[in-house]
A and B are shown apart, each in its own frame.
Chain A
Amino acid sequence: MLDAKLVIDGLGHFGPYGGRFVPEALIGALEELEVAHTSALQDPIFQAELTELHRSYSGRPSIITEAKRFAEHAGGARIILKREDLNHTGSHKINNVLGQALLTKRMGKTRIIAETGAGQHGVASATAAALMGLECVVYMGEEDTKRQSLNVARMKLLGAQVVPVTSGSRTLKDAINEAMRDWVTNVENTHYLLGTVAGPHPFPTMVRDFHKIIGEEARAQVIELTGKLPDAVLACVGGGSNAIGIFHDFIKDKDVRLIGLEAGGDGVETGRHAATITGGTRGVLHGTRSYVLQDENGQTVESHSISAGLDYPGVGPEHAYLHDIGRAEYRAITDAQAMAAFALLCKTEGIIPAIETAHALAGALQVGNELGPDATLLINLSGRGDKDVQTAADYFGIPL
Chain B
Amino acid sequence: MNDQTKPALARPVLEIQDLKVRFRLEKNWFDRFIAGSNARFVHAVDGVDLRVRRGEVVGLVGESGSGKSTLGMAIIALVEILQGKILFRNQDITNLLRKDRRQVLRHIQMIFQNPYSSLNPAMRVRSIIGRQFKISESDYRDDTASEKINSILRDVGLRAEDGEKYPHEFSGGQKQRISLARALATNPEFIIADEITSALDVSIQSQILSLLLQIKEKTDLSMIYITHDLRVARLITDSVAVMYLGRIVEYGRTSAIFENPLHPYTLALLSAIPGNRIKNPVSLTGNIPSAVLLPPGCRLYGRCPHRMDVCKLKYPAPRKVEGRTVACHLYPAESTDDIEAGEPIGSTRSAGLSAGRVER
Task: Report whether chain A binds chain B.
Answer: no
Residues of B participating in the A interface, judged by any CB pair closer than 8 Å: none
Residues of A participating in the B interface, judged by any CB pair closer than 8 Å: none
